[in-house]
Amino acid sequence: MVARISHWIDGKPWAGVAERTGDVFDPATGEVTGQVDFAAPSEVDEAVAAATEAFQTWRNTSLAARSRVLFAFRELLNEHKADLAAIVTAEHGKVLDDAAGEVGRAIENVDFACGIPALLKGGFSENASSRVDVYSIRQPLGVVGVISPFNFPAMVPLWFVPNAIACGNTVVLKPSEKDPSAANFIADLWARAGLPDGVLNVLHGDKVAVDGLLTHPGVRGVSFVGSTPIARYVYETGTRNGKRVQALGGAKNHMVVLPDADLDLAADAAVSAGFGSAGERCMAISVVVAVDPIGDELVGRISERMAKLKVGDGRRPGCEMGPLVTAAHRDKVASYLDTGVGEGATLAVDGRGHEVDGASTGFWLGPTLFDHVRQDMSLYRDEIFGPVLSVVRADTYEHAVDMINGNPYGNGTAIFTNDGGAARRFQNEIEVGMVGVNVPIPVPVGYYSFGGWKDSLFGDTHAYGPDGLHFFTRTKVVTSRWLDPSHGGVNLGFPRND
């Protein structure tokens, strides 16, 4: 049965008829499982209007009442986390264990948002001048847009939406059209938690919906995660239209392995970080920098582990890596194998021959390993976003650092070593936003913030955590003088926060 996946506007599924739709696939079988409505400009206007009307009430809702909704949502999300993970696996293709991990990290961000009322405090200076007090307050922006990618259809929306709502904003969420159902499931949980109609709206579609949010005069801020070319476009278009924008772009994450490292630990980490979620992660390790003389031995240990990986339908027990999200994306990633060989890299493990536990019609490509990759090759330059791991040889620690610092991306990096001095020097010298020491995927916990440097981030704030609080609020400074005291009368009742 092919399901209809439509917008969620003003607290309910949209009842209109879409002019354009797109197919939603099960990546493990290649079958069409849904038809998603694509928003026209009129639907963008409808969603923004619903959010604008809801903002007038939500911004003035007490922090205590907001917190109750957030905690109720958190409990529902915990209760239904397995259901949400199953939706992610069905439409994205990542294995159930990986999808469950995605939902778990999303819940961490909801945990942080539940505590935001304690952080929405300004400063106060009494008698800055005679009988004059000066204080600052944080207020919400208004209607904000969230544009999320296909690779984390549950986690990335929950990087932004809970913080935005906790700060008093209303939201229009535009998920990827490739795996849209998780967004609607999340919106339904919010409604069940008591979130008022219009505070969260879900708008499906393609560039029409994106451009509508970027140019709509009623949208005050936009959060985006995606590729670097689109992140640059979102940032430039949104800011040109007067919006606050945070746009997280692509990555080419390096993992440096020094000669003193535990090579079994490093090989395990390279395989886990390179092929989890079929490499469709902006924090995936796509380049292993082997500081010789350990290159040959490390490549051997990585190859041994890759041969044992079970690739297949993520709903089947024991499968460790699923398919890619679409046939077109699978074909694009696979094209790099021929290109890499043509450019002179050594194809150490060819993923096209990997055995698959699943339908032959799925969007499959097994884990692939290239050795002796050079910096001038497209394998190294491009964000492939698939299960392709490249090994680059470096002569020295300094050579490895120069390589990473010279790369246009600066999202995440890692170093594997038993030398504390080298590790400390690395975290100080490296020009990357998130650094792991013997940790291959250094995604910050929910009470820090996520984001890279250089071409991996456009804007001046990172995602979630303290930076999320700053992004979704603006500061107002009030200077006041009160010459006469006021008196509220006698009231012996216990003070309420409602």
Of 41-55, 110-124, 165-179, 202-216, least confident by mean pLDDT is: 110-124
Q: Are strands 311-312 and 453-454 parallel, antiparallel or unpaired?
A: unpaired
Task: From 282, 283, 285, 229, select the one nearest 255 (Cα to Cα).
Answer: 285
Residue 33 corresponds to which amino acid? T
| Count of helix runs (H) and strand runs (E) in the chain | 15, 25
DSSP label of 177: S
Please, which residues have CB within 8 angstroms of residue 176's CB and are 6 or more apart in sequence? 148, 149, 150, 153
- The DSSP result for 70-134, as a single string, is HHHHHHHHHHTHHHHHHHHHHHH---HHHHHHHHHHHHHHHHHHHTGGGT----EEEEEETTEEE
pLDDT tens digits for 369-391?
A: 999 999 999 999 999 999 999 99
Mean pLDDT to the nearest integer, 325-342: 98
User: What pLDDT score does 492 carry?
Assistant: 83
Mean pLDDT to the nearest integer, 169-183: 98
Mean pLDDT to the nearest integer, 407-422: 98
Model confidence at 483, in pLDDT bands (50, 70, 90)? confident
Degrees, nearest 5: CA angle 378-427-279:
35
Model confidence at 491, in pLDDT bands (50, 70, 90)? confident
User: What pLDDT score does 479 carry?
Assistant: 95
Residues 368-375: contacts with CB within 8 Å, 24+ apart? 368/337, 369/299, 369/302, 369/303, 369/306, 370/340, 370/345, 370/346, 371/295, 371/299, 371/345, 371/346, 372/344, 372/345, 372/346, 373/287, 373/340, 373/345, 374/343, 374/344, 374/345, 375/403, 375/406
User: What pLDDT score does 78 carry?
Assistant: 98
pLDDT tens digits for 122-160?
A: 999 999 988 899 999 999 999 999 999 999 999 999 999
Please give the order of strands across the beta sheet that includes 20-26. 3-5, 31-38, 20-26
Question: Is 493's pLDDT higher than 90?
Answer: no
User: What pLDDT score does 38 carry?
Assistant: 98
Q: What are φ and ψ of residue 43, in 5° steps?
A: -70, -35
Percentage of residues in the chain having pLDDT higher than 90: 95
Percentage of residues in the chain having pLDDT higher than 70: 99
Mean pLDDT to the nearest integer, 159-173: 98
Mean pLDDT to the nearest integer, 263-287: 98
Q: Residue 423: how many CB atoms within 10 A of its CB?
A: 18
pLDDT tens digits for 2-31?
A: 999 999 999 999 999 999 999 999 999 999
User: What pLDDT score does 1 carry?
Assistant: 73
User: What pLDDT score does 498 carry?
Assistant: 64
Torsion angle, alpha carbons of 429, 430, 434, 436, to 10: -80
Mean pLDDT to the nearest integer, 313-330: 97
Model confidence at 488, in pLDDT bands (50, 70, 90)? low
* 3-state SS assignment for residue 219: strand
- In the residue annotation, 282 being an active-site residue is answered as yes
**Tokens, residue 58:** 């939500």
User: What pLDDT score does 487 carry?
Assistant: 58
